[in-house]
Structure formats: C-alpha cells, structure tokens
Amino acid sequence: MKVELNPNHHHQDQGTKTEMCRTIEVVAGGVVLSPAKQVAGADDCADDLFIPPLNFSMVDNGIFRSGFPESANFSFLQTLGLRSIICLCPEPYPEANVEFLKSNGIKLFQFGIEGYKEPFVNIPEDTIREALKVVLDVRNHPVLIHCKRGKHRTGCLVGCLRKLQRWCLTSVFDEYQRFAAAKARVADQRFMEMFDVSSLKHLPMPFSCSKR
C-alpha cells in the first residue's frame, strides 16, 4: 500500500502561492475488500453499537456531513463505504485518522479554513468553490464533509451546494440553523446568500435535488 501526498492537486490562480487543498491518496494493490470484510471480527462484534460522528447527517445521495470523526466513529464510517473525506480544518490530520484512511482506501481532500468567530469572520470564497468541485465529482462519492463541529464551515459548504440545487434561501438558512443552533452566525448566512454559483452550473450534479 502506498500513500501519495499531492499538495497541488487542484488548479490555483496564477501568481497565487497559497496552498488551497492538500490531498492524501491511498493506492492499494491487490483486491479491495468490501466494508463488511474490512471490519476485523465483524461476526464476533455483531452486537457492538455503531457510533456516528457529531452532527452526522446525510446531505444527498453519496454525500454526508459531520463534525470531526474520532476513533470511536471509525466502525460506523466503514459502513458508508467512503471513497473520500473533505476536511475543512487547517490543522494536520490526526495520525489515527490517517491510518484509518490508509486501511480503508479513502482519499482525503483538506481545505484549510480557519475557524473564525464573529465579528472577524473571513470565509474564503475560492476555497469553498474548489471544495464544491470535489463534492460535485461523483468519482469521489460516497464522500464525507466535516469540520470541527460540523456547524459553520461545513454548513457554509453545504449551503452553497443547496444554492446549486436551487433551494430557496429560506430553506438553505433553515438547514444551516438546524446544525448551528444557538451558534448560528449572521456572517455565514450572508456569505451563502452572496455566494455566486454561476461558475459551477456547467458541472454535472447527479443528485436527487438537482434536476433542471
């Protein structure tokens, strides 16, 4: 098994040296085991409970969202048969999580967005746009989107996806607020409202809510 680190996986604007996305791609030789076979002692642990990550939810066919997965969540994540994970946190990915990705053939797309608090919220539109391209590429499905708590950064990315799916803003904000609850940020909702999806409309959107 070989791990390939591709720091310049996505195209960047000319003259921009800022690293927008880091990817870790696991290339496994031989037969790829199904999720059921990858769980050691699955027959002996049939009574064990699966624990989803914080704020876990299904977004659409092949797309999930959550807070940062912990080791207790790995067995649950194996049942999803993930191909990719999109991490919106800038910190280095924990070693235990990297090992989980390697052992399950999951590719990591890491878009480092700082976890600001109001009134100093600065959401990088170009980074959200690049992350959306990963979400829209069905070759990355099933994919899990996560940040620290699965509220703000994840909520903004999902909200922009909903705009592509032609959701009205009221519904976009309702979904965002269900996860953010008392921590909902006006700046996040303003960002989603102002986000321009026109440059992404040419991309295929094979989702349940994207029929034109």
Of 21, 147, 156, 160, which residue is the catalytic one?
Answer: 147
Length of the chain in terms of residues written: 212
Three-class SS of residue 20? coil
Active site residue 147: yes
Question: 184: closest CA among 170, 171, 194, 174?
Answer: 174
Q: What's the 3-state SS for 116-154?
A: CCCCCCCCCHHHHHHHHHHHHCHHHCCEEEECCCCCHHH
Contact between 74 and 99 under an 8 Å Cβ cutoff? The reply is no
**Can you tell me the distance from the alpha carbon of 62 to that of 58, in angstroms, rounded to the nearest whole number?**
8
Catalytic residues: 147
